[in-house]
Amino acid sequence: MSPDEQQPSATGPAGPPVCYRHPDRESNIRCTRCERPVCGDCMVSASVGFQCPDCVRQGSRQVREARTVAGGRVAPTTATAIVTKTLIGLNLAVFVLVQVVGNTFVDRWILVGRFFMGGEWQGVAEGQWYRLLTATFLHQQFWHIGLNMLGLWMLGPPLEAALGRSRFVALYLVAGLGGSALSYLIAEPNQGSLGASGALFGLFGAMIVLGRRMNYDLKPLIILLALNLMITFLNMSTIDWRAHLGGLVAGTLAAIGVVYAPARQRTLVQVGSLLAVLAIVVAIVLIRTAQIV
């Protein structure tokens, strides 16, 4: 400011105080923070008295938005578990399509390495990488989708609340892809696999990582995970244990990076961790494809 410039005076030449923003308006009301006079148009109601617009703006900049342990926004109670509900809705919608359309729909989207259908070779090894993801939304039996959606409803909301929506959906998808990748690597090329179980086992792993970070009692969760693993390996002929194990490992690794990321470099570490797990998935698929083709 040059010496010739002057700020508006908070008082008249020889009269009562005037608004610091409107010198032509008298006011005996002062901002409770800076004590400058403010008129009726400028005063902002505060917990105690009134504040001027400048102090309100300054206070807004200083108040930090509430964040979860993983850096996600704290969602209002009216918007709880939106991503979880959406995932359940997608799985149910695809299940209805499977029941209506039948095996032709399943054959188009199921995870399979390489098989001959419709006069040509098809599968992940033939460039149909989308099957790694689409298979995680496919279910044929009522008991299969019922158990998986029950598990998603149990594990999804607390994880979504702790991680935030974007981190939760990213972890869910990465875990599902990890399960598909290990299944593709180990299973016979013409063996099909479908279901959200790989993603759910990834959520199991993420819950354990989160519980460890928050110092929760992990015994109930570990017992539940152990029971599910026991069921998996006791029924290896009918259950794709490879997808379950791959999802568990991928979800756990991704969750470690998401939950333990330092606050100052949170986004960089979290994105890097998810991309690192995704890179491992891509490497596995490339290696297996080279073996099959």
Hey, which residues are catalytic here?
197, 244
Contact 195, 135 (CB under 8 A): yes
Indicate the burial class of 199 (C-beta count within 10 angstroms; 0-12, 13-18, 19 or more).
buried
How many whole angstroms separate alpha carbon 21 and alpha carbon 3? 20
Amino acid in the structure at residue 60: S
DSSP for 218-263, please give it: -HHHHHHHHHHHHHHHHTTTTS-HHHHHHHHHHHHHHHHHHHS--G
Consecutive H or E run containing 45: strand 44-45
Beta bridge partners of 53: none
For 84, 114, 203, 250, the CA distances from 256, given in Å and listed in that order, are: 21, 34, 12, 10
Both structure tokens of 152: 């998603």
How many whole angstroms separate alpha carbon 51 and alpha carbon 46? 6
Q: Within 13 Å of residue 196, how many CA atoms lie on the same side as its CB?
A: 31
CA dihedral 216, 218, 220, 223 (to 10 degrees): 170
Contacts with 162 (C-beta within 8 Å, 6 or more apart), sequence order = 68, 69, 70, 72, 210
